[in-house]
Amino acid sequence: MARPDGKEKYQLMSREAMKDAIVHENGEMRIDMSRVKNRLTGLRFRSHASRMQMCLTFYDSMAKEDYMYQVPMSDLLWEVGDSVKTILGYECQQAVSDYHGRRWTVWFAPDVPVSSGPWQLMGLPGLIMEAESDGGEYSFTITGLEAADCPITPRPGERDLFKTTRKKFLAEKRDRHLNPEKYMPGCHARKPRRCHEGSPSHDLIETDYKDKQ
């Protein structure tokens, strides 16, 4: 979204995803959100670390609206281990953290002096090259490194920004996924598939939104 052609590419991806989601069945139209999930989840997610304020500011979208919420940096605490392995030719060190409902194991490269990583994972003395949650439901692996001269702003675009809290945002996001018909009057949406009784097939990457707010 920071590139001149980013908005056009995003709109194209959105149109293709929504086209795939519309299903006509028995004379009725329904929205199959499972077809959209992998294409658009996290496309507009951005994070910004403020060392002065000791907080992380996150920008995300839901129902074509942009939201912002802050999280204390103290929420993400790492325990660095002794294990090492090579990723993209860099020797990486292991670290673990319990973060917002999941336990993460990551591998960071001290020779790449960037205290960053995928999604919200950051704060180690080196770039996080690989990360996986316990059970493997979510994982990230770096595929390449390259230099770029395009400035990336914390929040590209000119849309209105709504301030909220992390758990409130996630709770509504999950509810929209489980009950899309509540937010799309006139459309019949299929409920998400379930692995076994009472257990949704796929939860959000942060699961502690279920805790008391």
Report d(CA 11, CA 119) in Å as an integer: 22
Residues 62 and 81 in one domain: no
Report d(CA 124, CA 181) in Å as an integer: 42
Residues 125 and 28 in one domain: no
How many domains does the chain contain in total? 2
Range of the domain at 123: 75-141
Report d(CA 209, CA 101) in Å as an integer: 8
Residues 63 and 168 in one domain: yes
Report d(CA 117, CA 138) in Å as an integer: 14
Residues 133 and 83 in one domain: yes
Question: What DSSP designation does 193 have?
Answer: P
Q: Is the dihedral of CA 151, 156, 162, 167 positive or negative?
A: negative
Judge whether 147 lies within some domain.
no
Mean pLDDT calculated for residue range 185-189: 54
Judge whether 53 lies within some domain.
yes
Residues 64 and 164 in one domain: yes
Residues 182 and 200 in one domain: yes
pLDDT higher than 90, residue 23: no
Residues 95 and 188 in one domain: no
Residues 92 and 113 in one domain: yes
* CB atoms inside a 10 Å sphere around CB 194: 11
Residue range 123-180, pLDDT digits in tens: 999 999 999 999 999 999 999 998 877 776 665 556 688 999 999 999 998 888 888 7
- Band (57; pLDDT cuts 50, 70, 90): confident
Residue range 73-124, pLDDT digits in tens: 889 999 999 999 999 999 999 999 999 999 999 999 999 999 999 989 999 9
Structure tokens at 94: 């292991």
- Band (200; pLDDT cuts 50, 70, 90): very low
pTM: 0.72
